[in-house]
Amino acid sequence: MAVAEHMSGAPYPDGRDDTLNPGDRLLHGQYRIDSYLNSGGFGITYLAHDSLDRKVVIKECFPSAMCCRTESRVRARSRSLQKDFEKVVRHFGLEARRMSKLKHPNIVGVHQVFEDFGTSYMALDFVEGRDLQDIIEQDRHQLTPADIKQMLLKLLDAIQYVHEQDVLHRDISPDNILIDQTGNPVLIDFGAAREVATNASRALSALHIVKDGYSPQEFYLANNTQSASSDLYSLGATFYHLITGEAPPNSQVRLAALAADELDPYKPIPPRTEGYDHYFLRAIDKALAVFPKDRLQSAEEWIEEIDQARRQKAMRERARKDQELDLAIRELTATTNRELMATSEKPVPSETKPIDAVQPVVQSKPAKPAQSGRIPAAGDVNPEEELAETEKFVPLAESEAAFAEIDETLPERPQSFFARLFSRSEKRRASRDRNAESQSRRAPQ
C-alpha cells in the first residue's frame, strides 16, 4: 500500500485529528485530497482530484468508534476490535463494488473502489450543487409544489431501480440528496457496511447509525427486519420536512405513544396545503406509517399514487385483469356444466335382460251395446277394450322390478324418473279398474 504524502502536514483548524490532510495522496498518487466535506459514524468524505485533474469525491471507510489513525494508517482501537473492524472494511468494499454497478441519472456514480492505509475507499462523481438540507434551511420557499413533485418522482424512480438490484440505501435524508445546477436530484451516500457493522459487536452501539426524524423505528434495534418500506419511510420524512419546514417526530417516540395507547404525535400535512392534491399528501402520510405493514410497500406503488397518468394506467390494468379473471371463471363454469350434462345423458349400463315388447295375457271381447239400447258412437270407448289394450304389455309388477334394478344404478335423487313414471301409471290403472268395475255392475246379468 502507498504511504501518505503530506503536502501541508497541518491539522484541520477544528481539531479533526483523524482525517486526511489536504494534499494527502491515495492509491500511489492517483487521488489527491483537497478538503474535508463531512463525516458520519462509518466514514469520512473528502473533495479530491484524480490523476486527470478531475474533481471527485472520496469516501473513506472509517468507523470512528472502533478505529483511529496513526501515522496516516487506519487501525483498530484495540485488539478486541480488530476482527470487527476488518469485517466492516471488507463489507464496505463489497457494498462499494455493488454500488459501482448502479447506473441511473439520479444516483451518484462510483468510479473506483480500492484499499489503502489499512481501510477501504471509493471514488465518486462530484456533483456541483447544494444538498437538500441546505435548501430547506435557507431557500425552501423557492421550490414550487410542481418542482417538489417532479423531484420526488425522480427520486422514487431511482429508489425503485436500487431496490430492484436488491440494495437498500438505509440513509435517505435531506443531507444525502444533492440538487445539481439543473435542479436534478441525486441520491448519494448509501450507508455502506451498516448492516454488518450493526451486528458486529457492542462497541458499535456508540456509532450514529440512525437519524432522528428520518429513520424508521426498525432502524433503532439490531437484527430488526429492514425492507423497501424502510427507505420509503425516510424519503417520506424528507419530503414532509421539505413541505412543512419541520422534520416529523422521532419514530421511537411515535412507537412508544402507540404502545401506551396514546395519540400518535405525528401530524399529517394539512389536506388543503396549497399546490398539493389529496393523492400526493396521502401518499406521504402512508409512507410515514409507524408499522412497516401499513406503509407503501414499493416505490412503484408510491408513483402510482401521485402520478395521475400512471395511476389511471394501473387502474385500467387492474380492470383488464379482473375482466380476464371473470371470463376465465365463466368459461370454466360453462365447461363444467357441459361435462356434467354429458355425463347425465350417457346411457346407464344394465345387467338385466331385455324386456319383450308385447306379451298378450287377456283376449279382447266384442263390444256389447249399452242396456239402454243406444248404439255406441264413433268416439265412445269400450272400457273392457281399453283395459285389454293396456294389458297387452308385461305385467306391472314385473316391469317395476326390472326398472328398479336400472334405477338403483343411477345417482341418488329425491325421486327418480322411474319412480315418478310408475306412480302415475298406477294411478291411471286404478282409475281404469274402477271405471270398468262400475260398467260391469250396470251391465245386464
Half-sphere exposure of 133 (CA within 13 A, CB side): 9
Q: According to the model, what pLDDT value does residue 351 have?
A: 55
* pLDDT score recorded for residue 76: 94
Buried b (16+ CB within 10 A) or exposed e, 244-273: beebbbbbbebbebeeeeeeeebeebeeee
Q: How far apart are CA 296 and CA 249, in angstroms?
A: 19
Q: How far apart are CA 11 and CA 229, in angstroms?
A: 42
Per the structure block, which three cell numbers stand in for 103? 447506473
Q: What is the pLDDT of residue 338?
A: 77
Instruction: Return the pLDDT at 420.
Output: 57
* 88, 125, 191, 317 from 20: Cα distances, Å: 20, 19, 20, 55
Look at the pTM and tell me if it is higher than 0.75: no
pLDDT recorded at residue 442: 63
Per-residue pLDDT at 239: 96
* Cell triple for 254: 411515535
Q: Which residues pair with 137 in a beta bridge?
A: none
Q: What is the pLDDT along the chain (445 residues), one digit of tens a residue?
A: 333 333 333 344 444 568 999 999 999 999 999 999 988 768 899 999 999 999 999 999 999 889 999 888 999 999 999 999 999 999 888 888 888 889 999 999 999 999 999 999 999 999 999 999 999 999 888 899 999 999 999 999 999 999 998 888 988 999 999 999 999 999 988 754 344 444 444 444 445 468 999 999 998 887 788 899 999 999 999 999 999 999 999 999 999 999 999 999 999 999 888 899 999 999 999 999 999 999 999 999 999 999 877 767 767 777 777 777 888 888 888 888 877 787 776 665 655 555 554 455 555 555 554 444 445 555 555 555 544 554 444 454 555 555 455 455 555 545 554 455 556 666 667 677 777 666 666 655 5
- Ranges of each domain in the chain: 1-127, 129-187+210-306, 358-365+381-445
In the block, residue with C-alpha cell 387492474? 318
Q: What is the pLDDT of residue 289?
A: 96
CATH number of the domain located at residue range(s) 1-127 in this protein? 3.30.200.20
**Burial of 79: CB neighbours in 10 Å, binned 0-12, 13-18, 19+:** exposed
Q: Cα–Cα distance between 227 and 217 in angstroms, integer?
A: 12
Annotation: CATH topology of 129-187+210-306: Transferase(Phosphotransferase); domain 1 (1.10.510)
